[in-house]
Amino acid sequence: GAVVSQHPSRVICKSGTSVKIECRSLDFQATTMFWYRQFPKQSLMLMATSNEGSKATYEQGVEKDKFLINHASLTLSTLTVTSAHPEDSSFYICSAEGSGSVEQYFGPGTRLTVT
């Protein structure tokens, strides 16, 4: 139980284009999903928290117009990196939390490379 998938696992895009990353909870309903960014050899940095059917809450310093988050259903959240630049290259990881739970279950991550 508590399986979270992400798609794609790797993506390479050109500077200026947009990229969408999907995060799905496969066997439970996720009332809350989180998006993290991880730089090489570093810990996870929370970017935003999304609740199904409402606007995402972004952490300080994260541009909401650049990192668009949609949480349209209890099993799917998407992160769109708009007008990507090389400095957006990173490992993006989502997690999902069920109702009443304190535990987050993580997806396998998406490696984004912007050329």
Partner 1 sequence: TQLLEQSPQFLSIQEGENLTVYCNSSSVFSSLQWYRQEPGEGPVLLVTVVTGGEVKKLKRLTFQFGDARKDSSLHITAAQPGDTGLYLCAGGGNTDKLIFGTGTRLQVFP
Are the CB atoms for 76 and 85 separated by under 8 Å? Answer: no
- The site string for partner 1 over 7-36 (x = CB under 8 A, - otherwise) reads -------------------------x-x--
Q: Tell me 88's DSSP state.
A: G
Of these, 42, 73, 83, 115, which contacts partner 1 (CB under 8 A)?
42
**Is residue 74 a contact partner of residue 50, using CB atoms and an 8 Å limit?**
no
Binding of partner 1 at residue 54 (CB under 8 A)? no
- Identified binder of partner 1 from the candidate list 21, 105, 112, 114, rule CB under 8 A: 105
- State how far the Cα of 34 lies from the Cα of 69, in Å rounded to an integer: 10
Q: Which is nearer to partner 1, 82 or 106 (CB)?
A: 106
- Binder of partner 1 out of 22, 49, 52, 76 (CB under 8 A): 49
Q: Where do we find the tokens 């989180």?
A: 34
